[in-house]
Structure 1
Amino acid sequence: MRADNSQHIVNAARRRSEYTRSRAIQALRELDAAGEPVTFEAVAKRAEVSRSWLYGQPDLRTEVERLRALHRRAPSAQLPAGQRTSDASLLRRLEAANTRVRQLTEENQRLRTQLARALGEQRGDRITTDRVRGT
């Protein structure tokens, strides 16, 4: 009677499946980090797996679709998802910029007023000096 080696075959298949999944996940990460469009074709090519296999993996399929949608919404922003700016962050930056512009406008007006006074005093001193000299 032969020994049952089926467990070795099952273990080998499990390792091969895990390795294939890790390649696909790595391909997703690399494409996103590089700012390249994430498509089933691009992931399959980089991971050296079939597109049909990717479609059959619910979690990988969801992630490809999510990243693909992000790239479609922001075609000019080719940044990884983790580095993209949120709307709330952009609003805070805009508010900060507006506040800074307002401060600089006020400072500029103060400096113009100071300069006008200084030039006026300088002119007044010159006129007074010219009158004293008699010119």
Structure 2
Amino acid sequence: MRADNSHHVIAAARQRAADTRKRAESALRRMDKRGLPITFDAVAKQARVSRSWLYNQADLRAEIERLRARRGSASASRPVPDMQRASDASLLRRLEPAAERIRHLEAENKQLREALALALGERRAGDVQRGTRDTPRKKSTAIIGPC
């Protein structure tokens, strides 16, 4: 008569089940942390488990549905994880230097335009004083088409 070794089979099955659950839970955490879309199919692929197994695990199913609902279901864009979202205050702090830089560049552009207008005016006045014409004598016959 053979010895009853069924406890080894049972222990191995329990270990496989625990490993499968661990893979699914860690895949779910990893996907949420990275901001990846949370779907049953995506979690199943990441964890290397079947979708039907995920649907049969009430706690994992509830967590997947909760994360999907929080993100407004699986959308085309990649949602940003909660930990990486910028606050209104931090966005305003980043916006202030940009607005100041724009004001500075606008003022610089205005000064450059005024300097250019002044230089062109002085050049034209010098040309007139030297007696050179500031308009062409002969009209161009070349027709320039749209650019």
User: TM-score, with normalisation over the residues of structure 2?
Assistant: 0.55
In structure 1, give the amino acid aligned to 2:19: Y
Quick check: which has more Rg, 1 or 2?
A: 2
C-alpha separation between the residues in 1 aligned to 2:86 and 2:73?
13
Residue equivalent to 2:108: 107
Contact 1:27 1:43 in 2 (8 A): no
Q: Which has the higher helix share?
A: 1
C-alpha separation between the residues in 1 aligned to 2:74 and 2:130?
68
Residue equivalent to 1:24: 24
In structure 2, give the amino acid aligned to 1:51: Y
- 1:1-135 equivalences under 5 Å are 6=7, 8=8, 11-25=11-25, 27-28=27-28, 29=30, 35=36, 37-39=37-39, 41-42=40-41, 45-46=44-45, 47-48=49-50, 49-53=53-57, 55-57=58-60, 61-62=62-63, 64-65=64-65, 67-72=67-72, 75=75, 77-79=77-79, 81=81, 85-88=85-88, 90-130=91-131
Instruction: Kindly state the Cα deviation for residue 72 of structure 1 after the two structures are TM-superposed.
Output: 1.0
Contact 1:34 1:80 in 2 (8 A): yes
Q: What secondary structure sits across from 1:72 in the alignment?
A: coil
Q: CA RMSD in A?
A: 4.0
Contact 1:33 1:79 in 2 (8 A): no
Show structure 2 runs of 5+ residues with no match.
133-147
Show structure 1 runs of 5+ residues with no match.
none
Q: What secondary structure sits across from 1:86 in the alignment?
A: coil
Instruction: Kindly state the Cα deviation for residue 56 of structure 1 after the two structures are TM-superposed.
Output: 2.7
The count of corresponding residues between Structure 1 and Structure 2 is: 123
User: TM-score, with normalisation over the residues of structure 1?
Assistant: 0.59
